[in-house]
Amino acid sequence: MARLLLVLSLLCGCVSEEPDPIPPPALDLPRMGLALEPWVEVLYEAPVELAVTLPGFEVVVAAESGLQRMTPLLEGPEDIEASLESVTGIAQLDDGLLLVSDASGLHTLGPDGQGASPLSELLVAEDVRGLLTTPGPEMADLWIVGSTDLHRWRDGYLYAVRPGAESMPDARLAWGPALDGSPALWAATDDSLLALLDVGGGLEARVEDGELVPTGLAVDGYGTVWAPTDGDLWSRTIDGQRQTVTLPVVVHDVASGAGSTDLWLATDEGLWHYAPETFRPVSGVTVERMLGVDGAGRVLVDTGDQLLRVASSRTVLFVGLADGDTLDEAIDVCVVASWAEGLEGLTVLSDGEAVEPTSTDPLCFGLDPELLADGSHDLVATAQYTDTEVEASLFFSVGEFVPPTWTDDIEPLFQAECGLCHRAEQGSVTVGGGRPLDTLVAWQADIDLILEVLEDGRMPLNNPSLSGDDIRTIEDWRAGGFLE
C-alpha cells in the first residue's frame, strides 16, 4: 500500500436488475431431520469482541485481554502483541500482515510489531465495521465496510462504492461464484441484495432482488447464495434458481464458506444446521452471533460468554496446501485430525502410495514438484478412531496442467455414459429414475460420491465401468477447480 490516492467515488452507475427469472419447479416443503449432536470445542472462556477464520484453519480472537492466534499446529493460543481498543475487523493481507480496525483506526500487525495504516488518514470520518480481502493467494482487493459507505482499495486507490449513487452502510459481504464470467462479491444491505462484478475495468452492481430485507448473507461451497429475510430463508443456486423456505423457527443470520457444504443458521431457538436437503436443530448450542466458517465447515459461535467452534462431524485437516493449489516449490504439508479424543492413528497416501513422514506429532511430510510428474495429484488422509474411520482428500497440480472443463470434457462424458438415467426432465425428475446430474452444480456437489461409485464400478449401472483415463479426467477437473 505504498501509493496512496483517494478517489472520492467509484462509478457504480452501472446498476442493472436481472430480468425476471423463469420460476423454478414447485419445491417440496423443507426436509427436517433429527437434532444434530455436534462436535464442540471451547476456544475462548470469556466474552470476545471479534473472531475470524483465516487460511490454514487459523483463528484470530480479539478480546478485552488482547489478541490471540490459534492454529492446528500450535499446542495452545499464541498472544499477538498489539495495543487495540474495541476491535471491529481483522483481515490478512497478501504480505502476511494482519490489518485490524478498532476504535482508533486501522493498524497493521506483523513481525516488526504494530503500525498505523495510511488508510486511516483517508477514513477519518468513517467508523469501520468490517474488513474483507479477495480470496486466493494474491488477495488483490481490500473491502472496507463502514458506517456510511462501502470502500474498495485496489492498486493504491481507495474508492467509495455507491451503486446508483446510493451509499451502502454496514453492508454484509460474501464472495460467490462468477456471474457471466466475472467474479462476484455479494452484498446485502438493509433493503436489497446485489452482486458487485468487475466488468470492462469498472464495477457493475447487479440487483438480485430489491424486495428482500436481508438480515444476513452467506455463500456455501456449492455457490448457493443464502439470505434470511423476514425470518424466512431465501436462496439462489449457481444456476439461477431461487426459492424461499419457511422453517419452524425464525432465521436471523446464516454462515458458510468456500469449500464448505455446511450452512449454519442462527435462529430464535438456537443454532441450526443445513446439509444438502435437510435442516436440523443443533443440540446444546446457544448462539448470540456467528463469526465465520472455516474450510472444514466448522462455525465460530459467540455465546456471549464463550467462543465455540462447532462442527457437524469429525474431519482431517491439511495444513500448508489447499485443494486445487499448484505446487511450484518444495513445501512441508502437515495433517491434523480435527478431533483428538479417541484417535488411534493417522495415515496419508500420495497418489496411492504411503508418504514418508518428516515428523509424527504433528504428522508432516515433504512435497517436491521436482520429484512429481506434471499433472494432477491427490492426497488422501485417514484418521482411525476407536469407533470409525474418517477420510479426507486433497487434489493439487504440478507443472504444465490444463484442467478439463465441464463443457468440453465432463458434460460430453456425462451424456455418453450417465445421461440415460441421470438427465433431468423436470426439476428433480429424471426419465431413468436416477438423481439429476446434468449440471456442473450437481457434479460439484456430489463429486466425492460420483468418483467413489465410478471407481468401484457400481456406476454406470448395467454398463461397462469407465476407463481409468475417463476417471482421471474427472479427477483432473476437480483438481483444476471445476472449470466451466
Q: Report pLDDT for 203.
A: 86
User: DSSP H helical segments within 63-204, as ranges?
Assistant: 119-122
Give the distance from CA 73 to its chain's centroid: 21
Q: Which of 481, 326, 471, 350 is nearest to 403 (CA)?
A: 481
Residue 434 to residue 418: CA distance in whole angstroms: 9
> Which residues pair with residue 90 across a beta bridge?
100
Q: pLDDT tens across 124-165, in order? A: 878 999 999 987 655 578 999 999 999 999 888 999 999 888
DSSP assignment of 199-221 equals: ETTEEEEEEEETT--BS--EE-T
3-class SS shares of the chain: helix, strand, coil, % to 5: 10, 45, 45
Q: Report pLDDT for 13.
A: 42
The number of helix segments (H) and strand segments (E) in the chain equals 6, 41
The beta strand positions in 71-224, using DSSP E, are 78-80, 89-92, 98-102, 105-110, 113-116, 128-133, 142-146, 150-154, 157-161, 172-179, 182-188, 193-199, 202-209, 218-219
**CATH, domain 5-311, list 3.90.45.10, 3.40.47.10, 3.40.50.300, 2.130.10.10:** 2.130.10.10
The reported pTM is 0.85
For residue 476, what is the enclosing H or E element?
helix 468-479
Altogether, the residues listed in the chain come to a count of 484
Domain range list for the chain: 5-311, 316-398, 406-479
User: DSSP H helical segments within 333-461, as ranges?
Assistant: 411-417, 419-422, 440-445, 447-455
Q: Report pLDDT for 323.
A: 85
- CATH classification code of 316-398: 2.60.40.10
Average pLDDT along the chain, 484 residues, taken 10 residues at a time: 37 44 46 95 96 95 95 92 95 91 94 92 89 73 94 91 89 87 87 87 82 92 90 89 93 91 95 91 97 95 97 96 90 96 96 95 95 92 96 89 89 88 58 66 80 85 85 86 82
Q: Which residue has the cell 446508483?
A: 164
Q: pLDDT tens across 209-254, in order? A: 767 899 999 999 888 899 999 999 999 987 788 899 999 999 999 9
User: DSSP H helical segments within 39-191, as ranges?
Assistant: 119-122
Residue 282 to residue 269: CA distance in whole angstroms: 10
Q: 11 in helix, strand or coil?
A: coil
